[in-house]
Chains A and B, each alone.
Chain A
């Protein structure tokens, strides 16, 4: 039985029992399924929290589970379970078959699994290089100490999390792959206070793979940034609301494309009929300055994948080229239901979610202008240096918060302002991104959607939006 191979505190699946996986897939196909997919997962995670000058929480967790998906025509049945025994997996297949009400005798052909492709092979060597809890704790304490730069900083926090995930994906088209994924993220947060004034600041660093990356994190620079940001915003006035031109900073400013447009280019949105871009392939949907890319292979970037959660190698997808819509982000169900070819973008938080078309490392390509060119072109507007979270609704309306903003007056940055929210609609804002800077940078983040929370990268150079609604007071 599969469960007998699972051991504690080490790579659990290794070279999995191919015969068993084939037996389960044969079972599903024999019952009339068009397609059978098995996703096995084992996780080993840890998180550490430092507050002020103490470690206040260490939370390890581990687990294992399977997600089994059966397709029949254009519908799918998905069963997740913690029971990885042969009996448990077979029962899940039966349950999915029963849910789909499959009774016909037409049988697809299953020729067995292909030769095992192990994307985690080279990674097994570096598992032991993942920093220990002791090492992490020491670095976090040094980091929170670095935040003690001003007596107006009233709370200091540093947090770290490490997710180690081992997966095996096998399906009736012969796919048989395994992978090891390592994601590490570390963040600093402060709250500054002076009488009735309050502000907060945060910065996050994240990496995919490369255990030693955490050791290279420049906590001093991060601490300086976060303290400076919170102090700049402490006495800031609330922004006046209205329509105005804005310049969005590079790195996490890329959340505007992620929310305003990226989600609307996922085939799940076509399936639902909630994207205004459904029939716009090869049509102009953005300003000619805009070229946007979604790729799964940017080395070390937070959204990078060696293989997606459906066993496909991720491709580099040019979504928009010089303002023309070129491609949608697609997964297996998306291809089946919308006809758009898979792009290696089938992603899920864990075994309890069915994969869906999701962004990976998504960014607007760099242009020719300097940051100063963009700011100089505005007589009265807003510079958004640091962005918060955002969301997009079922009609394409997006919003996101500005954490750190400055007024632009006569081509120069002036007073800091707080309380700004940018709102708009994707198809209206994309043509208004009229200038792209030459300083593309990427930033890590988490994206929550239909298949759970996944690691992503957002990014862009500085960009100018000619006009957008700024919510304020």
Chain B
């Protein structure tokens, strides 16, 4: 069945069950992936997936939901019946409606859809990449985590009010994670991920080079003394920490009382005036972009922090109604609709006169800690409290020299971090999760072995 046929089938089944108001979201995908081990194929995978989420409103306008992978006629009927039963338990204190924007025009990026290259080519490319990475340095003994995949999928949203949206796309991913070992030293490990619309769009050589350079550069390591340090966050690590605390901009989290912000936080100054942060799901560099969210609301660029002040929250239909604004295209589709950011873009505002522009990670001669990558976010972030204590990969810069840090954690508070930004470098870098320049922050606590 195609998405139009499924919509018709749901409509017919709903009518036969006397269910007048419904909507659904669906995804259909075909994925292929390979892993290798020292030149040999290890595991080759293919999957065909279909997920259908149906919401039904009962006569009291309470909503119920069911998710299923069974899109047969009987499966769809069962899902509608279950959703109808679940609607008896619908939230009486917060109603959910169709998004008022679910029929608005959507902006779809013009991307040439790629054709599958097939498992054999994936395997050949990954084998070659593994060999090159192993040969790139004598200390690289293995590439324990590696994979090359291509996915082809379609997303659909439709409702009983006549809204219908569908888009399909392709995506490919390569990850190479090398492990280096030298005598009488601890093994070191690092890697690189690259995304593309298709396998042919992925810069494999750059992925190999990045994984190799990052791994090798950490071979000469040293422990760091526990103390407070001047910190420079790499674009990737700063995006990681902003994403971990994105509940500050999340209307759902605010209503639920688990955000550091509250309903009156719009306009609140939370950082230097030099900082702007946007959520921009349709950004041309965002490979994973989607033109609409789970409720069918169009995706758009939204300013979250403007010159250091909170400018907007991200919303679903129901949170937008509570806040008397419009949905922003960030909703999932659930019994309790979740809200999440798409693609964070951090930039320097025009109000940047208070920055210490001498702090440039490529030229600064003083002592600082460069945080390359933050780890174990799920364990070390207390988003509702604002605190974090996270292991990281990074460097101690001192007198123009840099020493890889053996193992350490950085701890602090997100509000302190944002208010103590000393510099936002001019050059932005594109990562797999967003765009950001290097960000300098006044003293944060680093715990090391020394």
Q: Can you name the residue of chain A whose Cβ is closest to the Cβ of B87?
A: A58
Proximity string of chain B (99-143) to chain A, C-beta cutoff 8 Å, 1 when within and 0 when not: 000000000000000000001100000000000000000000110
Residues in chain B near residue A63, CB distance under 8 A:
67-70
Proximity string of chain B (176-188) to chain A, C-beta cutoff 8 Å, 1 when within and 0 when not: 0101000000111
Residues in chain A near residue B389, CB distance under 8 A:
401, 419-421, 471-473
Proximity string of chain A (375-407) to chain B, C-beta cutoff 8 Å, 1 when within and 0 when not: 000000000000011110111110111000000
Given contacts A62-B70, A101-B120, A242-B226, contact A399 B376 (CB under 8 A): yes
Neighbour of B48 across the interface among A83, A191, A401, CB < 8 A = A83
Q: How large is the interface on A (under 10, 10 to 19, 20 to 34, 35 or more residues)?
A: 35 or more
A291 CB–B CB distance under 8 Å:
no
Proximity string of chain A (75-110) to chain B, C-beta cutoff 8 Å, 1 when within and 0 when not: 111111111000000000001101111000000000
Neighbour of B70 across the interface among A49, A64, A101, A391, CB < 8 A = A64
CB atoms of B48 and A82 under 8 A apart: yes
Given contacts A80-B48, A354-B45, contact A389 B378 (CB under 8 A): yes
Within the complex, the shortest CB–CB distance from A95 to chain B, in Å, comes to 5
B1 CB–A CB distance under 8 Å:
no
Within the complex, the shortest CB–CB distance from A195 to chain B, in Å, comes to 13
Within the complex, the shortest CB–CB distance from A187 to chain B, in Å, comes to 15
Q: Can you name the residue of chain B whose Cβ is closest to the Cβ of A98?
A: B119
Q: Can you name the residue of chain B whose Cβ is closest to the Cβ of A390?
A: B379
B74 CB–A CB distance under 8 Å:
yes
Residues in chain B near residue A390, CB distance under 8 A:
376, 379
CB atoms of B74 and A8 under 8 A apart: yes
A51 to B94, CA, bound (A): 12
With most chain A CB atoms within 10 A of its CB, the pick from B145, B179, B389, B391 is B389
Interface residues of A, dominant DSSP? strand
CB atoms of A200 and B385 under 8 A apart: yes
A96 to B119, CA, bound (A): 10
B207 CB–A CB distance under 8 Å:
no
CB atoms of A59 and B92 under 8 A apart: no
Given contacts A75-B44, A79-B47, A99-B46, contact A59 B67 (CB under 8 A): yes
A55 to B226, CA, bound (A): 47
CB atoms of B68 and A74 under 8 A apart: no
Within the complex, the shortest CB–CB distance from A384 to chain B, in Å, comes to 13
Neighbour of B336 across the interface among A3, A49, A238, A241, CB < 8 A = A49
Within the complex, the shortest CB–CB distance from A39 to chain B, in Å, comes to 13
A56 CB–B CB distance under 8 Å:
yes
Neighbour of B68 across the interface among A51, A57, A62, A423, CB < 8 A = A62
Given contacts A82-B50, A99-B119, contact A57 B91 (CB under 8 A): yes
Within the complex, the shortest CB–CB distance from A205 to chain B, in Å, comes to 21
CB atoms of B48 and A395 under 8 A apart: no
Q: How large is the interface on B (under 10, 10 to 19, 20 to 34, 35 or more residues)?
A: 35 or more
Residues in chain B near residue A287, CB distance under 8 A:
none
- Which residues of chain A from 293 to 338 have a CB within 8 Å of any chain B CB? 333
Q: Identify which of B300-308, B354-362, B406-414 touches chain A.
A: B406-414
A60 to B379, CA, bound (A): 28
- Which residues of chain B from 351 to 384 have a CB within 8 Å of any chain A CB? 375-376, 378-380, 382, 384
Within the complex, the shortest CB–CB distance from B387 to chain A, in Å, comes to 6
- Which residues of chain A from 189 to 204 have a CB within 8 Å of any chain B CB? 191, 198-200
Residues in chain A near residue B391, CB distance under 8 A:
397, 399, 421, 423, 471
Given contacts A54-B93, A354-B45, A425-B186, contact A471 B411 (CB under 8 A): yes
CB atoms of B47 and A133 under 8 A apart: no
CB atoms of A75 and B379 under 8 A apart: no
CB atoms of A57 and B449 under 8 A apart: no
Within the complex, the shortest CB–CB distance from A257 to chain B, in Å, comes to 16
A212 to B411, CA, bound (A): 43
Residues in chain B near residue A191, CB distance under 8 A:
257-258, 384
Binding site for B on A (CB under 8 A): 3, 8-9, 48-49, 51, 54-65, 74-83, 95-96, 98-101, 133, 137, 154-155, 191, 198-200, 238, 241-243, 271-274, 333, 352, 354, 388-391, 393-397, 399-401, 418-421, 423-425, 469-473
Q: What are 14 residue pairs bridging A and B, where the CB atoms are less than 8 Å apart in the complex? A: A8-B75, A59-B86, A60-B67, A62-B82, A83-B48, A101-B120, A198-B385, A241-B445, A352-B47, A391-B379, A396-B187, A419-B387, A473-B411, A473-B445
15 more CB-based (< 8 A) A-B contacts, given A62-B68, A389-B378, A395-B188: A8-B75, A57-B335, A57-B336, A60-B65, A63-B69, A80-B46, A83-B48, A242-B226, A271-B37, A400-B376, A400-B379, A423-B391, A469-B448, A470-B447, A471-B409
Binding site for A on B (CB under 8 A): 37, 40-50, 64-72, 74-75, 78-79, 82-83, 85-86, 89-94, 119-120, 141-142, 144-145, 177, 179, 186-189, 226, 256-258, 334-336, 375-376, 378-380, 382, 384-387, 389-391, 407-409, 411-412, 445, 447-449
